[in-house]
Amino acid sequence: MRRRSWTLGSCFVLLCLAIAGPASAAVGPLRLASGPSPYAPGCTGAPDAGIVYPGSEVEPSIAANPVRPRNLIATWQQDRWDSGGANGVRTGVSVDGGASWRLPQSPPFSRCAGGTEANGGNFERATDPWVSFAPNGDAYQISLSINLTSLGNAILVSKSRDGGLNWGPIKTLIRDFQPGQDNDKETLTADPTNARYAYAVWQRFNTPDPAEPNDYTGPTFFARTTDGGETWEPARIIYDPGFRNQTLGNLIVVLPNGELVCLFNRIIGGTSTVAVIRSRDKGDTWSEPIVVDKLGTALVLDPRDKSYVRTGDLIPQVAVDPRPGRANLYAVWQDARFNGNKADQIALSRSTDGGLTWSTPTRVSEVLSTQAFTPAVHVNRRGVVGVSYYDFTADSATSIPLSTDRWLARSTDGGRSFGPRERLTRTSFDMREAPIARGPFLGDYSGLTSVGRGFVDFFARANDGQPGNRSDVFSVRVGPPFAATGSDAPASGRARTARASRARRARGYIARR
């Protein structure tokens, strides 16, 4: 990758020292997971509705095999469109903890990937990929498959029994071909306590009358398998926030005792709140919502011209402590409460009772004055919490590149404090070179998992000066020796900053594809 050169004299030297920080862990090199696009021009079989970025990869997900921990599977959007979705969802497989990647044949979630009416993948585009391993080593991946020039969208699932090298036939969880019915932002979680169970959740947006776009509902939909993916129960609502309200970014985690916790952005009257619902019976019944805290994003803007940078600003993430006998959960999201609503930071709230109560959010991102965004969170088998994210520490508001880096912070005391962050990108990249989707875009989320004592971050970065290959996805391993957490953590436990809520039309949130 080529990086534009820029000089700021002695200030540049100081900046380099600042962003490098006290490197304490063994940060490995970036390992390229993606490759050239496998899709032919015009493979969607429909008139072009927007601009496609061939060769660009965004919005990755990753999971580690509990049976063979160095076996990783990742998924991502391949050939992103500015008008929504991608030509397909592609799969990467590693058998050496992310040191190298191979690209097997992906499930035919779209026409470009071989989807037909017969195999269930007859859709113009695919988006929102997610992957999860069952405790027996079986893996699932899921896609939202959509049409842009005609009606139609579906939630599709495929299963692998060999660590991701081969994928079985598509299972359709829901399929809508009526106007005003849109599924969005699905995730899938294989139950780590029972290999027969896996759970999918998403938001289903329903606008019965196109002439009244503000009359809508946006409940959380749920589907599960109880026989290892052979069949899936009919999709159903598990939480309805009511008329003209919605959820977004639904994600289930499973506590060591088998209870389910579904986290989401609960949007009521245009105000976003991080919330959870719980199930003690594998999803048969669900609790009423439990509020974690307000989601107070200020949106991420290009410092040079204040144009919108599309990030995971409305998508909270959650991770569970996998150790037996624990009930620890960690939720992260973008929030500007820590600096008077001037810049998004990464907020973290923790629960020690399975999501019944939550701590006051604290700040994980290290530099209070710069915008931080699109966090991922994971807890390894020793209970160590890792949080990765992007920020603009290296950027100057007057520079041509929008210099961006990826970071990892870790906590050994249950999220109460974080040690010095580790820089994952050894050189910054220019966010302005990323594919455009209402702004420069690398995904509404990214991936983080662990191999042994180390973490493996899986993220997209822009390719500077490569208009024919705007972005790629990479893995990077961060291993011991680690710095101790404690006094070096940001002082983020201050009282919450009172600020006015940002009124936004909830209807616009469906366009996350």
pLDDT digits (tens, 9 = 90+) for 355-392: 999 999 999 999 999 999 999 999 999 999 999 999 99
Query: Per-residue pLDDT for 462 more than 80?
Result: yes
The Cα 183–Cα 199 span in angstroms is 16
The Cα 505–Cα 450 span in angstroms is 38
The Cα 421–Cα 314 span in angstroms is 24
Query: According to the model, what pLDDT value does residue 494 have?
Result: 34
Query: Per-residue pLDDT for 24 more than 90?
Result: no
Instruction: Give the pLDDT confidence of 204-247 residue by residue, as tens digits.
Output: 999 988 888 889 999 999 999 999 999 999 999 999 999 999 99
Q: What is the arithmetic mean of pLDDT over 299-322?
A: 97
Domain ranges of the chain: 295-480
Query: Per-residue pLDDT for 486 more than 80?
Result: no
The Cβ of residue 259 has, within 10 Å, a number of other Cβ atoms equal to: 17
Task: Say what the pTM is.
Answer: 0.91
Q: Which residues contact 375 (CB under 8 A, 6 or more apart)?
A: 312, 317, 332, 333, 334, 346, 364, 387, 388, 389
Query: According to the model, what pLDDT value does residue 485 have?
Result: 64
User: Among 235, 61, 63, 238, which residue's Cα sits nearest to residue 155?
Assistant: 235
Question: Any idea what DSSP says for residue 484?
Answer: P
Query: Per-residue pLDDT for 497 more than 70?
Result: no
Query: Per-residue pLDDT for 508 more than 60?
Result: no
User: Among 352, 423, 414, which residue's Cα sits nearest to residue 382?
Assistant: 414
Query: According to the model, what pLDDT value does residue 492 have?
Result: 42
- Reduced to 3 states, what is the DSSP secondary structure of residue 13? helix
- For residue 291, what are its two tokens? 């509020």
The Cα 120–Cα 111 span in angstroms is 10
Q: Which stretches of 101-198 are DSSP H helices?
A: none
The Cα 463–Cα 473 span in angstroms is 10
Instruction: Indicate the pLDDT class of residue 17, thresholds 50, 70 and 90.
Output: very low
Cis peptide before 169 (omega within 30 of 0): no
The Cα 434–Cα 56 span in angstroms is 8
Query: According to the model, what pLDDT value does residue 503 have?
Result: 33
Give the range among 74-78, 242-246, 500-504 with minimum mean pLDDT.
500-504
Q: Which residues contact 218 (CB under 8 A, 6 or more apart)?
A: 203, 204, 205, 206, 241, 245, 246, 247, 248, 267, 506, 510
Contact of 128 with 60, CB cutoff 8 Å:
no
The Cα 384–Cα 485 span in angstroms is 11
Dump the DSSP string for 209-241.
-TT-TT--BBPEEEEEESSTTS--PPPEEEE--
> To which residue do tokens 């662990």 refer?
450
Query: Per-residue pLDDT for 491 more than 60?
Result: no
Q: What is the arithmetic mean of pLDDT over 51-57?
A: 97
Output the average pLDDT for the chain: 91
Counted residue by residue, the chain has a size of 513
Buried-exposed string 192-220: b where 16+ CB fall within 10 A, e elsewhere:
bebbbbbbbbbbbbbbeeeeeeeebbbbb
Give the range among 130-134, 140-144, 474-478, 502-506 with minimum mean pLDDT.
502-506
Instruction: Indicate the pLDDT class of residue 480, thresholds 50, 70 and 90.
Output: confident
- For residue 460, what are its two tokens? 């997209």
Instruction: Indicate the pLDDT class of residue 467, thresholds 50, 70 and 90.
Output: very high
User: Among 374, 344, 507, 381, which residue's Cα sits nearest to residue 455?
Assistant: 381
- For residue 389, what are its two tokens? 């994210």
- Taking the mean position of all CA atoms in its chain, how far away is CA 217? 24
Instruction: Give the pLDDT confidence of 149-163 residue by residue, as tens digits.
Output: 999 999 999 999 999
Instruction: Indicate the pLDDT class of residue 18, thresholds 50, 70 and 90.
Output: very low
- Reduced to 3 states, what is the DSSP secondary structure of residue 266? strand
User: Among 228, 230, 247, which residue's Cα sits nearest to residue 239?
Assistant: 247
User: What single letter denotes the amino acid at residue 228?
Assistant: G
Q: What is the arithmetic mean of pLDDT over 448-468?
A: 97
Query: According to the model, what pLDDT value does residue 512 have?
Result: 62
Q: What is the arithmetic mean of pLDDT over 399-417?
A: 96
Q: CATH fold of 295-480, please?
A: Neuraminidase (2.120.10)
Query: According to the model, what pLDDT value does residue 209 have?
Result: 87
The Cα 426–Cα 511 span in angstroms is 33
% of the chain at pLDDT higher than 70: 89
Query: According to the model, what pLDDT value does residue 210 have?
Result: 81
Dump the DSSP string for 310-368.
B-STT--EEEE--STT---EEEEEEE-GGGTTSS-EEEEEEESSTTSS-PPPEE--S-T
